[in-house]
Structure 1
């Protein structure tokens, strides 16, 4: 399988560049871009697995979420510059739904087919649950509710204030987990974890992550320019494109990595990727985009539509209810996937 992904990268990256230069059919290039990103995501997954062996599940999951979300951040900045505020907000919604329900669901489901039970750090689960409830339910719902009686200027002031608070708390959360309380809430499965040799050295894994991220950023940015044509061809709405299409493609790296970890019974890393990436989107990527939008002509308030908010709040509650015990199985994965499918149908029909 690794050879297949290598061939896909070897062919897909040059084709992406040539297709852009020669202005090939945008529908054809859409397919090329998607397949190339999936292949590059596989390499990011292998690099992350090597780093997780060396640095541990928390740092490995954090690195994967960071590199994966860097791609989405780049795509969103280009979209903001083009004035596509609705697409950016929809893609942020899609990232939350995709990471919690699709990535988490696939990890629990596929891993559960191989192992009857898979455990992960229950203390991390409870810590992440509290942050999820704060980041999505408090920080996203409050601006929507209070902005009802505000003009655009006051809404932006509120959004900037919320964004700065979120960023500071996210940095504090990293300090808590990785510095001041590192190892304090260690799970027994982490204490007895067997030592294994990483596939790649630390330097090589970081180099692969960097190169793959640059390549994914280029291909993903090109993909943005083909979406409008593909949407018109297939009759997709802007909301559906942002929530489903852009979010899935933009987070392909996390999708692949989390599933690989779950199959290898490294559920701690898989959960850290799925939930950690969601927290990073909600508490860092979204606020940073709000602040960056101040540099552009059209600014982006941290105000989502009610369908987006309700979908994200529902996803958080379902995920918290299922993952709070630090134990998973294939049926819990199926429940998360079912919730994602239902929401996907809803966004498609809007």
Structure 2
């Protein structure tokens, strides 16, 4: 698989540059851009995995989630610049659904087929559950009640206030997990093997790969955004479907692959940290950050989602909490999460 992604990068990046300069078909370029971003995301995933081997599961999962979300953040910034507010909000929804239902579901299913029972740190899972409830139920759903009777200016002001609070709490949560309470809540069975792993790349090489891949993703993402309108008209896709399904899957490709790989290695602590940690980062850091960044563009983005988006995210959070709060999983729980994702995917496609 690594050779395939390497070939895609060395073929896709030049084609992306040539195609954008020569104005090739938007449909063709949409396919080339998506495949190239996914291949670049795999490089970012491999680089962060190399760094994670020497940093431990918590920091490793955080690094993977951060650089995985960097792709979507870049795409979203260019979408905001183009005035595609609905696509950005939909892609945030898709990231929450994708991480909690698709990534976790596939990881639990693939890992569960190989191992009867897989365990992970239940204390981390419960800590993340509380933050998920806050991020989606409190910070996303509750404001919808207030904004229904507010002016546009008041809605933006509320969104800014919520964004600042969420970013502050997210940074406090990182400080809690990585500094003040690091190592306090540990399980006796860490779930993974004790074998010593050798990183694929050294620290310097991994950082260089991350830097170059991020630059390439930034360039391709800006061009990808300009293909959305024509692709949507051609295939009958709404902006909602493009954001929830297409942008979310492409933007989170790196962590999707890494989480599944860790599950196959029986390293569920890292898998859960990627799936739930990435969701928290999207909801509590990326989304609020995009609200603040949008203030520098002609159209500011309010932190107000549609009712289908809100209900889908709340349902995904509640289902994930019920399934993960016991500290172990199996293939059937994975397929349950996947079933929920496909049901929601069909609904968004038909809207």
Q: Which TM-score tier does this pair reach, normalised by the shorter chain?
A: over 0.9
Whole-Å separation in 2 of the counterparts to 1:236 and 1:205: 37
Question: 1:325 is paired with a residue of what secondary structure?
Answer: coil
Question: 2:303 is paired with a residue of what secondary structure?
Answer: coil
Moved over 6 A (4+): none
Q: Would you say how many aligned residue pairs link Structure 1 and Structure 2?
A: 350
Whole-Å separation in 2 of the counterparts to 1:43 and 1:81: 27
Work out whether residues 71 and 214 of structure 2, in 8 Å CA contact, stay in contact via their aligned partners in 1. yes
Superposed counterparts of 1:1-350, under 5 Å: 1-190=1-190, 193-350=194-351
TM superposition shift of 1:69: 1.3
Work out whether residues 44 and 257 of structure 1, in 8 Å CA contact, stay in contact via their aligned partners in 2. no
Whole-Å separation in 1 of the counterparts to 2:167 and 2:64: 19
TM superposition shift of 1:344: 0.4
More moved, 100-109 vs 37-46: 37-46
Work out whether residues 117 and 328 of structure 1, in 8 Å CA contact, stay in contact via their aligned partners in 2. yes
TM superposition shift of 1:121: 0.8
Whole-Å separation in 1 of the counterparts to 2:64 and 2:333: 24
RMSD: 1.4
Unaligned 5+ residue runs, structure 2? none
What do residues 147-206 of structure 1 show as CA deviations (whole Å, max 9, x unaligned)? 111111111111111111000000000000111111111222339844322222222222
Whole-Å separation in 2 of the counterparts to 1:28 and 1:158: 41
Whole-Å separation in 1 of the counterparts to 2:28 and 2:201: 34
Whole-Å separation in 2 of the counterparts to 1:215 and 1:114: 36
TM superposition shift of 1:209: 2.0
Question: 2:226 is paired with a residue of what secondary structure?
Answer: helix
The alignment's TM-score, normalised by the length of structure 1, stands at: 0.97
The alignment's TM-score, normalised by the length of structure 2, stands at: 0.96
